[in-house]
């Protein structure tokens, strides 16, 4: 099927809820993807951080093939070997107090479960979330998401018990969290909001405030988890452990799966039938996730993210020094943001034409979430492409500034 045909069919029949790039991606390997015309792209987007171990990693492909020939579905009302294998591996790599798992299919689902657990465990209903925070677009997750553009059409469905405070401001958090607070939900590093890293002591301070008020602390590691920031979990940068952790995206190596992991006493507040999922913990997804964990550990991808992220961030910082249209490079590991003084749509389109896939955070931040298996040469090529584009944009700015 040629590219124009693919696009025409999607435009005709797919719900128009995605900001589409004018390219059809049909094949991928590692950090490289190809469109329907055979054009090659360096993927610094990886499906919003999903392809952390690279596209079509052979060990994950083999695990999926093997399991597809054995058993593809098994409801949670039965026991299953692949589910047990994954649960054991997950508990070994997560903070030691987090030892009860609910398996689901996405990040938003993992957040939905976390919110229900917190309310059930505490008997309270007030939730504190963060300005610029993003947790998903299903109703509960949407309620905890800050950006008004996602919520304004659904205001009548959103409960009023969600309060938002500035990310990184402990004083404002102290004012908002009280003895009626069920939970505080926070991304250790904000992704959708612009790749913002918290100041030193912030997450530890939230932990102390929650402990003082017996509120549940939820870390949304959907985007930051599995080595993305240079540690297995972003929380390790600050040595702070939550009561509940939400994970997904990279978990299945490209296959849809998510999980909510909590302290046993917190998770056990849910009784039989109060929360479940038809597809959650199905053997195919569990086999993919189990293989993904093996790859992350076996190839030491968190350390690779730390090393390559430091290298690439250095290249971005040089651009900030060189080009007036750029403000700041920030982030941890291979979760990086480049903030500009202009709207970045044209930059993304020019990069696409030059064979580079980029992601945005709002209108003026480029977000980089490449596979952790990406090569240094790919990052250097990406930086060279961006440098040429920014040089052009800088000249435009100079031309405008000289106009009378």
- Percent pLDDT > 70 in the chain is 98
Catalytic residue among 82, 102, 120, 134: 134
**Residues 103 and 119: beta-carbon distance below 8 Å:** no
- Report the sign of the C-alpha dihedral through residues 74, 256, 27, 375, in that order: negative
Instruction: Report, as an integer, the average pLDDT of 105-111.
Output: 98
Mean pLDDT of the residues in the chain: 96
* Annotation marks residue 4 as catalytic: no
Q: What is the pLDDT of residues 278-330, one digit of tens each?
A: 999 999 999 999 999 999 999 999 999 999 999 999 999 999 999 999 999 99
**Residues 137 and 145: beta-carbon distance below 8 Å:** yes
- Domain ranges in the chain? 3-56+300-402, 58-298
User: Would the pLDDT of 227 be above 50?
Assistant: yes
Catalytic residue among 82, 249, 263, 313: 249
Top-level class of domain 58-298: alpha beta
User: Would the pLDDT of 248 be above 70?
Assistant: yes
Per-residue pLDDT, 399? 59
* Annotation marks residue 134 as catalytic: yes
Q: Where are the alpha helices (DSSP H) in 254-363?
A: 264-267, 283-298, 301-322, 345-353
Q: What is the pLDDT of residues 167-187, one digit of tens each?
A: 999 999 999 999 999 999 999
User: Would the pLDDT of 400 be above 70?
Assistant: no
C-alpha distances out from residue 323 to 317, 335, 339, 363, 379, Å: 10, 22, 12, 18, 19
User: Would the pLDDT of 387 be above 60?
Assistant: yes
Per-residue pLDDT, 331? 98
C-alpha distances out from residue 355 to 1, 46, 228, 284, 381, Å: 21, 14, 23, 33, 10
E strand or H helix at 217, and its extent? Answer: strand 216-220
Per-residue pLDDT, 397? 74
Q: Is 204 exposed, middle or buried (0-12, 13-18, 19+ CB in 10 A)?
A: middle
Instruction: Report, as an integer, the average pLDDT of 231-243.
Output: 98
Catalytic residue among 35, 43, 220, 243: 220
Instruction: Report, as an integer, the average pLDDT of 379-399.
Output: 91
From 403, 401, 384, select the one nearest 322 (Cα to Cα). 384
Instruction: Report, as an integer, the average pLDDT of 243-266.
Output: 98
Per-residue pLDDT, 396? 82
Q: What is the pLDDT of residues 115-151, one digit of tens each?
A: 999 999 999 999 999 999 999 999 999 999 999 999 9
For 74, the 3-state DSSP assignment is coil
Confidence of residue 398 (pLDDT cuts 50, 70, 90): low
Confidence of residue 403 (pLDDT cuts 50, 70, 90): very low
Instruction: Report, as an integer, the average pLDDT of 260-288.
Output: 98
* Annotation marks residue 35 as catalytic: no
User: Would the pLDDT of 83 be above 80?
Assistant: yes
Top-level class of domain 3-56+300-402: alpha beta
pTM over 0.75: yes
| Cβ count near 211 (within 10 Å) | 11
| Cβ count near 251 (within 10 Å) | 29
User: Would the pLDDT of 226 be above 80?
Assistant: yes
- List CB contacts of 2: < 8 A, sequence separation 6 or more: 36, 37
From 348, 354, 253, select the one nearest 41 (Cα to Cα). 354
From 106, 54, 36, select the one nearest 249 (Cα to Cα). 106
């Amino acid at each position: 099927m040629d590219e124009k045909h693919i696009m025409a069919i999607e435009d005709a029949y797919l719900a128009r809820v995605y900001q589409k790039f004018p390219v059809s991606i049909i094949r991928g390997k590692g950090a490289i993807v190809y469109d329907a015309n055979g054009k090659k792209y360096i993927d610094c987007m990886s499906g919003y951080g999903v392809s952390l171990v690279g596209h079509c990693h052979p060990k994950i492909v083999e695990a999926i093939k093997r399991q597809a020939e054995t058993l593809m579905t098994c409801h949670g009302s039965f026991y299953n070997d692949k589910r047990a294998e994954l649960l054991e591996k997950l508990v070994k790599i997560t903070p030691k107090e987090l030892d009860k798992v609910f398996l689901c299919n996405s990040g938003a689902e993992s957040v939905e479960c976390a919110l229900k657990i917190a309310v059930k465990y505490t008997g309270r209903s007030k939730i504190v979330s963060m300005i610029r925070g993003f947790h998903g677009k299903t109703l509960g997750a949407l309620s905890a998401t800050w950006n008004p553009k996602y919520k304004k059409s659904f205001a009548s469905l959103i409960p009023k018990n969600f309060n938002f405070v500035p990310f990184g401001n402990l004083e404002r958090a102290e004012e908002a969290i009280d003895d009626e607070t069920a939970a505080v939900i926070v991304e250790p590093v904000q992704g959708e909001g612009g790749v913002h890293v918290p100041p030193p002591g912030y997450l530890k301070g939230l932990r102390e405030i929650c402990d003082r008020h017996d509120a549940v602390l939820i870390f949304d590691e959907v985007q930051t988890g599995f080595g993305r920031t240079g540690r297995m979990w972003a929380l390790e940068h600050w040595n702070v452990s939550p009561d509940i952790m939400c994970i997904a995206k990279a978990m299945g190596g490209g296959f849809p799966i998510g999980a909510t992991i909590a302290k046993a006493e917190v998770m056990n507040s849910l009784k039989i039938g109060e929360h479940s999922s038809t597809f959650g913990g199905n053997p195919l997804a569990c086999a993919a996730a189990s293989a993904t964990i093996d790859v992350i550990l076996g190839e030491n991808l968190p350390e690779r993210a730390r090393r390559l992220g430091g290298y690439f961030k250095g290249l971005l910082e040089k651009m900030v020094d060189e080009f007036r249209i750029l403000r700041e490079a920030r982030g941890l590991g291979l979760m990086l943001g480049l903030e500009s003084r202009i709207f970045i749509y044209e930059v993304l389109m020019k990069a696409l034409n030059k064979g580079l896939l980029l992601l945005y955070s709002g209108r003026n931040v480029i977000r980089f979430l490449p596979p952790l298996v990406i090569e240094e040469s790919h990052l250097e090529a990406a930086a060279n492409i961006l440098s040429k584009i920014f040089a052009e944009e800088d000249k435009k700015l100079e031309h405008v500034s000289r106009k009378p």
